[in-house]
Amino acid sequence: MKNLLNKKILLIICGGISAYKSLEIIRSLKKSNAQVKTILTKSAKKFITPLSVTSLSKEKVYDDIFSVENESEMDHISLSRWADLILVAPITANTISKLSSGASDDLASTVILASDKEIYLAPAMNVRMWEHQSTKENINKLKNYGYKIIGPDIGDMACGEFGKGKMSEPNEILQQIELYFKNKKNNKKFKALVTAGPTREYIDPVRFISNQSSGKQGYEIAKSFRDNGFETTLISGQTNLDPISGLNFIKVETAQEMFDQTIKNLPADVAIFTAAVSDYKVSNYKNKKIKKKENLNLSLEKNIDILNNISKHNSLRPKLTIGFAAETNDIVDNSLRKLEEKNCDWIIANDVSDNSIGFDSDENQISIFYKDKKNENLKKMSKSLVASEIVNRVIKKLN
């Protein structure tokens, strides 16, 4: 597994009979010349010993968040930052429940909650526990948070029952992790550009025309491109979101500024225009603040259409040009019309009349309309997961 060479893997081992399989995972990672650090939960030490783990990893075992020695050598924040990827194998129903609620009462859960890296979970539990409604709901929550789930498999269990709940075999787990690094490496050749958030068109120095866009979906898409290895540029209007590290982040205000920065940062392999650009700007801008006693007569003119301009550009058009359509009615007709008129490859539409998936929501429900007139409707999910779904399709298309 050449794509694991020199990769830093933090392996978290929870309690359960499947914990013995984690030793094989460590052995295989080391054989692939990956660096491995481990955390054992309190219950994990009832099934495997720290000595067996450290003898394979050639590193000390971290197990107690209150250990002065551990914190002085590498605190829980540094440990999460050290890793290129975090793998929890096995993860129990109890830890799944803990993570789904955001709890952090030991080193393992604290590191996971503090992490900004890709996190893979390999569940292992009794079939009835896996099929319990609470576990299903917790798993769905974790998927929406962006966790990647491997397994579980179907088979005979240590308790004597048969069904779904066995931890996936170490080789299968490692193949998925290796595929993640392989894709990330391959995607480095690609350049992505994303626009996000609202634009502002000023009336005077303190007043402006804008809209309710939060920028959340565009930011999540940019993060997903970054996490998948793309050289990523995010051009953002004024939002309340924090700048994103690890990519080219550009803040703008007006549509013209966004267009200028878009041109400046092309060419790109893919561009996704999620920004809610003001359709109109004020042609009679006032250099001084307009007083209440003055009559306010606004003269508007059409703004530059960034998507339309880029999608029809002779030399700078990205290989894959994708527009967003925030609609309140006639989503199918409006999206297909926009797809043709704007010369896009895809149009991604959502119904912003639904407040639960509107501009400022953390969830979204989209439909993707393709140039060949095909379309697909995705279920309601977190904007983070929507971003992953979109970027996975982009990767498939570009390759």
* Amino acid at site 8: K
In whole angstroms, what is the distance from residue 264 CA to residue 247 CA? 16
According to DSSP, the residues that pair with 121 across neighbouring strands are 88, 149
Burial class of residue 251 (count of CB atoms within 10 Å of its CB; 0-12, 13-18, 19+): middle
Cα 125 from Cα 166, distance rounded (Å): 7
Over 131-179, what HEC string results? HCHHHHHHHHHHHHHCCEECCCEEEECCCCCEEEEECCCHHHHHHHHHH
What residues contact 140, with CB distance under 8 A and at least 6 apart? none
From 5, 159, 296, 298, active-site residue? 159
344 in active site: no
Contact 357, 337 (CB under 8 A): no
Q: What is the three-class DSSP state of 372?
A: coil
| Beta carbons of 230 and 376 less than 8 angstroms apart | no
Which sequence positions are flagged as catalytic?
159
